[in-house]
Structure formats: structure tokens, C-alpha cells
Amino acid sequence: MAKQLLIYDTATPVNPDTHRDVSVKMAGTYAFARNVNSVPIVAAEFLAAASDCVIVFAGTAEAVFPAVLLGLEPDHNEYLDDQNRWSGRYVPAFLRRYPFVFAQNPETDQLTLCIDDTFEGVNTDGKGERLFDSEGARSSYLEAQLSFATQYQNQYLRTKAFCDRLLQLDVLEPAVANFTGDDSQPRRLSGFFRISREKLKKISPEVLGQMFHNDELELCYVHLQSFNNIETLGIKLAANTAKGQSLQ
């Protein structure tokens, strides 16, 4: 499973002194996500992500967070074509937020908007969208990115509460994905968790009622339903492998 900040090489706080003349040009490709086989998602994304992605829970028995599988092989994203364009139906917000991210001060819990300065679209040539105007005020583009990151953070907290409930109820179990590798041999991807249907059925009616009213029960079943997309991911792997071989 991918580490949460794998696509970020740096996280530099955005400020008018450092980034006064900086612009960001998004090329419409996701080359920065080429080498990740999973990324985190928040609760608000479950329905859209489940259209063609597998939703799992990554982490440990003490702390988990939902993620979508983007590949079945280590360090490879099957949802990108040979020009690094997204080939799936839904692009996770974690990737749409890039190159911006919130960093938290462990002493004060204060959040600071940061940018990955190593992103190829970050420049001082005036290409794309400026972060600050000539007087050092935030541009409308930066305000929009700050708003998006804030919404993401709010959803992150809601999703963490959902995950904490799942851990408390002890309904998660280790899981594996079975698929055929590029050598046509059966393989298994492990290192993640899924909700146990049997354990879910044993939750008390009172708690199930609470989960129904706050939409957490829906999230559970959307997650389980998404495992039907393992086949879709396997087809992408086979197609991308065949395409790669044909280009050699």
C-alpha cells in the first residue's frame, strides 16, 4: 500500500515572501501519480470512487484510513494511460488537491497550506495561475485551492471518526486481492483490511441505527460492493501489460 504523502517530495508553507512571483501550471496529466498503487480517499468520495475503484482500509490494527487501489503491482498505477492521462471514471480528491496539502503543527494543531515546490508545474515564468498578486494578496486561484484543501480536511476528520468506529466495533479483517500477474501466474495483493459482513451483521440494532442515520452504514456497503471492481483492475493490468509489450 502507498504511503499517504508519497506523491509529495516537499511541503513548503505557502507565503507571499517565498511565493510572491510563483505560478502553477497544471498540464492535465497525472505523471506525479505514476508510481503509486493506492491513495487515500475520504467518506464523501465513496459513492463516486466505487464506480470503478476498489475501496479498502489501509494501515494497522490500531489505525486505518480508506484508500482506493490504483494498481495490483507495487508502485504502479493502472489508471494512467501511456500519456499519463487519467483513464478511470473518478479522480480521487487526494490527487486533484496536488500540489497543495495541509501540514499540521504538532504543538498547536494549526494547519498551514503548503505546496510541493518540486512539482514540474511550479514556476516563476508566469505560466499558469499566480499564487499572489503584485501586492502580495492571495489570488483567486490560491483562495480556491485553500478552500478545496479546507473542505478536504473537514472530510478527513469525519472519515477518521468513521474509521475509529469500525476499529471500536472490531469489524475489520485482513484481506487479499487475487489476480493474474503480467507473467500469467496467479498472484495476491495483501496488506489492507476490509469490513467483515458477518461481523457487521452482529452489531447491535441500536448502533446500526446510529450508523444508518449518519450514513456510516451506507459507507460500509459501498466499500463492500466496490470489491466487484477487482476484475476491472485486473483487466486494466492485463491491457496495460499487453500494450507495454507491444511497444517493445
**Is 5 inside a domain boundary?**
no
Q: How far apart are CA 35 and CA 74, in angstroms?
A: 8
Tell me the pLDDT tens digit for each residue of 186-222: 677 888 999 999 999 999 999 999 999 999 999 999 9
**Is 217 inside a domain boundary?**
yes
Q: How far apart are CA 5 and CA 247, in angstroms?
A: 32
Tell me the pLDDT tens digit for each residue of 94-131: 999 999 999 887 777 789 999 999 999 999 999 999 99
8 Å CB contact between 132 and 19 = yes
State the total domains in the chain: 1
Give me 61's grid cell: 490494527
User: Does the pLDDT of residue 2 top 80, yes or no?
Assistant: no
**Is 7 inside a domain boundary?**
no
238 sits in which H/E element: helix 230-246
**Is 3 inside a domain boundary?**
no
Name the pLDDT band for 182 (thresholds 50, 70, 90).
low
**Is 2 inside a domain boundary?**
no
**How many Cβ atoms from other residues are within 10 Å of residue 209's Cβ?**
12
**10: CB partners within 8 A, 6+ apart:** 116, 117, 118
187 sits in which H/E element: strand 186-195
**How many Cβ atoms from other residues are within 10 Å of residue 129's Cβ?**
16
- Under the phi-then-psi rule, with left for phi > 0, alpha for psi from -120 to 50, and beta for the rest, what region is 33? alpha
* Domain span holding position 118: 12-241
**Is 186 inside a domain boundary?**
yes
**Is 1 inside a domain boundary?**
no
User: Does the pLDDT of residue 161 top 70, yes or no?
Assistant: yes
